[in-house]
């Protein structure tokens, strides 16, 4: 019997112009109130991996996420991605009698992240990008990455940008049916290989407001968001695209930090206010600001949680790591890019750095630091080697 199965992996992305706000009249289509732009980070450090099998032996659609079975029906966004891709496959099968009829078969979906979801990293972006990419492989859909991004967007907005590697814009679009609200690649990962990122996983016991709920409340209540949508983001998108094309790090960094600040300002302007940054996040802002006092050498950015991502050219990474190690002892470091191996004196703090700008935090305040870089989009993996389902169609 032929096996219909595909296994893929997909990356996370971290926005430098943030998506925050959904069109309240188009909630099911998940259309944003502004365009956004992100950098796709290497799957060698962070990725989601998904196997999907279609079989006449399966009696229902089933889903396993990070080892636990979850209900598909309860997950409306997943149902949407499934419905859209199945409908496309069904219309291909209608037109071509030679195609195997798999659109009507039940499927088993098994997906896992190689990083803890609880770390608050962008798991919905890589997760939905991976789901949609794997469905497209399974059903052999003749769609390009932008077409697929329209489907992934309906799973999670930020997921549409993980359909590409490198530097990716999500154009908000203007059509009522959302058919032009899609991701496009601004530049591939090979364009600016010098740009790297340091991800700081900050300890935080509190469960923050989810992005979905948070941004709906912001749209309802924040006057500042309207200013951001109309007067700030359109120009900032253009400036950011130019900075990336020119590999102009100071401009890229300036825009990135201002956009992160404005996103958190808009959260504070939401009523009741939403707080994502904590004392450690604010200390990281101070450290980067002091480090930049004689010229911009690094950029911080924060999503819907206290974790920081610091973008910087490769040559500054050892100094940045030395600063983070000074203020945040007791973290675990992912050195898969060989930073410590290649730098003889990683513990030297930069000259002229005024260490009094922040206290040294207690052990483990930053749990983990990952060094990574811009990299490619979703990958097709060999099922025999990487597949997550056993011969019975259950998680291995
Ligand atoms: C702060 O993509 O998680 O990370 O569309 O509701 O799933 P949903 O939201 P999500 O929001 C991400 C918001 C952000 C900024 C960004 O990635 O642009």
Bridge-based pairing of strands 13-17 and 47-55 is unpaired
What pLDDT is stored for residue 224 in this prediction? 98
My answer on whether 180 and 215 are in the same domain is: no
Q: What is the pLDDT of residue 3?
A: 81
* DSSP string for 26-72: GTTTT-BSS-EEEEEBPTTTSEEEEEEEEETT-SS-EEEETTEEE-S
Q: Are residues 251 and 118 in the same domain?
A: no
Q: Is the ipTM of this complex over 0.95?
A: yes
Tell me the two tokens of residue 331.
């973290």
Q: What does the pLDDT read at residue 206? A: 72
Let me know whether 28 and 159 are in one domain.
yes
Is 21 part of any domain? yes
* In a shared domain, residues 257 and 179: no
Which stretches of the chain drop beneath a pLDDT of 70?
Answer: 1, 117-120, 122, 343-347
Instruction: Supply the range of the domain harboring residue 154.
Output: 4-188+380-386
Split into its structural domains, the chain has a count of 2
- Return the CATH number at 119: 3.30.230.10
Query: 173 and 265 share a domain?
Result: no
Instruction: Give the model's pLDDT for residue 343.
Output: 66
Q: Residue 344, class by beta-carbon neighbours within 10 Å (0-12 exposed, 13-18 middle, 19+ buried)?
A: exposed
Do residues 286 and 179 share a domain? no
CB 63 within 8 A of CB 78: yes
CATH number at residue 230: 3.30.70.890
Query: What's the half-sphere exposure (Cβ side, CA atoms, 13 Å) at 344?
Result: 0
- Look at residue 392 and tell me if it is in a domain: no
Residue nearest atom 3 of ligand 1, based on CA coordinates: 211
- The CA 356 to ligand 1 mean position distance, Å, reads 35
One domain, residues 174 and 284: no
- Beta carbon of 162 within 6 Å of any ligand 1 atom: no
DSSP annotation of 374:
B
Say if residue 48 is in the same domain as residue 97.
yes
φ, ψ for residue 262, nearest 5 deg: -70, -35
Number of other CB atoms surrounding residue 358 within 10 Å: 20
Q: Where are the beta strands (DSSP E) in 165-237?
A: 167-171, 182-187, 195-202
Distance 212 CA to ligand 1 centre (A): 7
* Structure confidence by residue, pLDDT tens digits, 258-311: 999 999 999 999 999 999 999 999 999 999 999 999 999 999 999 999 999 999
Look at residue 391 and tell me if it is in a domain: no
The whole-model pTM stands at 0.96
Residues 120 and 164 in one domain: yes
Residue 393 in domain = no
Ligand 1: which atom is nearest the Cα of residue 263?
A: 1
Q: What residues are paired with 371 via a beta bridge?
A: 198
Residue 163 alpha carbon to ligand 1 centre in Å: 15
């Amino acid at each position: 019997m032929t096996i219909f199965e595909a296994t893929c992996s997909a990356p996370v992305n971290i926005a430098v112009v943030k998506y925050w706000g959904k069109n309240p009249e188009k909630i099911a289509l998940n259309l944003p109130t502004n365009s956004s732009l992100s950098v796709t980070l290497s799957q060698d450090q962070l990725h989601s991996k998904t196997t999907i099998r279609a079989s006449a032996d399966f009696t229902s659609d089933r889903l396993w996420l990070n080892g636990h079975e979850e209900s598909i029906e309860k997950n409306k966004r997943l149902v949407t991605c499934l419905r859209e891709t199945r409908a496309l496959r069904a219309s291909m099968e209608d037109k071509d009698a030679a195609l195997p009829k798999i659109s009507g078969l039940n499927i088993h979906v098994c997906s896992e992240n190689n990083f803890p979801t609880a770390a608050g990293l962008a798991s919905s972006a890589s997760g939905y990008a991976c789901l949609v990419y794997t469905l497209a492989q399974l059903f052999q859909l003749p769609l390009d990455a932008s077409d697929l991004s329209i489907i992934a967007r309906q799973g999670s907005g930020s997921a549409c940008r993980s359909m590409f590697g490198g530097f990716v814009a999500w154009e908000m679009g203007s059509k009522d049916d959302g058919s032009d609200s899609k991701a496009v690649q601004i530049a591939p990962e090979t364009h600016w290989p010098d740009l790297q990122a340091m991800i700081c996983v900050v300890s935080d016991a509190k469960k923050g407001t989810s992005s979905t709920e948070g941004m709906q409340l912001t749209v309802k209540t924040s006057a500042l968001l309207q200013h951001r949508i109309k007067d700030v983001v359109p120009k900032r998108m253009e400036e950011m695209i130019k900075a990336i094309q020119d590999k102009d790090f100071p401009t890229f960094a300036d825009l990135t930090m201002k956009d992160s600040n404005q996103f958190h300002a808009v959260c504070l302007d939401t009523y009741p206010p939403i707080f994502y940054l904590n004392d450690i996040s604010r200390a990281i802002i101070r450290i980067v600001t002091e480090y930049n006092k004689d010229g911009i050498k690094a950029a911080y950015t924060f999503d819907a949680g206290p974790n920081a991502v610091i973008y910087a050219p490769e040559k500054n990474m050892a100094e940045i790591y030395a600063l983070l190690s000074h203020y945040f002892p007791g973290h675990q470091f992912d050195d898969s890019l060989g930073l410590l191996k290649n730098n003889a004196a990683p513990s030297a703090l930069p000259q002229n750095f005024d260490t009094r700008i922040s206290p040294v935090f207690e052990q483990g305040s930053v749990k983990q630091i990952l060094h990574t870089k811009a990299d490619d989009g979703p990958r097709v993996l060999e099922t025999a080697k990487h597949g997550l389902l056993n011969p019975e169609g259950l998680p291995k």
